[in-house]
Every structure is written in C-alpha cells, then in structure tokens.
Amino acid sequence: MSIKRIEVKNFKSFKELKIDLGKFNVVIGANASGKSNFVHIFKFLRDAKNSGLDNAISMQGGVEYLRNMNIGASEPLSIKVVSDKEFGWGLETKAGLIGIRTYETIYEFALRFNKRGSGFRIVKDKLIQKCKFFRLERKERKIEEKELLGEGEIIVSRGNGRVKHYLNISPKVPLKKEDIFPPFLREEKLPKHTLLLETPYFLYLH
C-alpha cells in the first residue's frame, strides 16, 4: 500500500495526528518527541494484518501501552489510512466487459476501550475505494478501454458483526454489488476482534 495520508487519534503519545506522506519520508525530532511512536503506528497496522488484532495489541504491550495515557478510555483509538496506489481489473457482466480502476483507497477503524480492564470492541471498520468505471473492448489479444462510464465508490463496512457492501456509483455504470463480490464474500460474519484488514475482503479489493 502506498500511503499518502494517515490520521490517528488516542494512540500512545498522540492525542491527534494528521500527516501527509510522500514517496520518501524522514522522521526528525528531539528525544521523546514521538518518533518511535510514529513508527509504531505502521508496526501496529502490519501486526494486525499479519497476526490479528489481539496479537497486535499484545505486541505493543497491551491496551494500557497502546492508547494515550491522558485520554485513556474516554475516546476511541482510531487510525485512518489513505492510499493513492492505482490498480484495476475487469469483470464479465450481463452488460459486457466492465473495467474498474481504483485511484484512492481509504481504510479506517476505531476501537472503544472498556473503562475498567483491558477489554475493547471495534466500533468502526470501513474500507472505501474510489474508482473509475470503463466499458472494455477486446481487440485481438488485448483488452482496451473503450468508454468512461463514470466514477464512484466501492464500500465495505462492519455492522453488528457482519460485513456489509455498498456501491455508490453513477447510474450509467451497469454494475451491481453481486457483480463485484463473489458469493463467499457476501454477508460474511466476522469474529469479535477481527478487522477487515485481516480478512480476504482487504486482499480481494487491494
């Protein structure tokens, strides 16, 4: 994922952090200014994806070391990542061959901590892809973009322990969510402490 912006609340020494990133970034600052904690944001995301959310929290030392000590359980911990990596794929539909080109991906989740103990729950978990949609045409051995049909968003979110899918697209785009999501990814249940980041949804759409 090529990250161009990250927003964090209630994470370690950060009450709130919003920062734009380039292709090459250097972190400079005095001792105890938050450099290591900034790097820990990316380690936490990596560990959640590879090892699961519970293990990622344990690797950070537990809830008490993950959240900002001054904020504590009064506000959720949230992380929002925006990527500008472009990629595309084609779909065979009843309306013909439709191409999807993603130009921005937004992933955000939030954890609400219990006031006592180390418990928490996921209160937000959402993946948004901003896309352009094309009618594709086969020419000999190549597939070419014939016509821009419009723009829109593919949205996957968590609600009441289930995964929900939405399409926010132009009426000119002849797609339904059933065209994009195969049966095994529809209305899937998620375990209590499992983020979309850990599941096939994230891999399938990224």
pLDDT in tens, 45-99: 999 999 999 999 999 999 999 999 899 899 999 999 999 989 998 998 888 899 9
Q: What is the pLDDT of residue 205?
A: 61
Predicted local distance difference test score (pLDDT) of residue 120: 94
Looking at the predicted structure, is the pLDDT value of residue 20 above 70?
A: yes
Structure confidence by residue, pLDDT tens digits, 105-163:
999 999 999 988 889 999 999 999 999 999 999 887 888 889 999 999 999 999 888 88
Q: What string of DSSP letters covers the chain? A: --EEEEEEEEETTEEEEEEE--SS------TTSSHHHHHHHHHHHHHHHHH-HHHHHHHTTSHHHHS-TTTGGGS-EEEEEEE---EEEEEEETTEEEEEEEEEEEEEEEEEEPSSSS-EEEEEEEEEEEEEEEEEEEETTEEEEEEEEEEEEEEEEEETTEEEEEEEE-TTS---HHHHS-GGGSS-B--TT--GGGSHHHHHT-
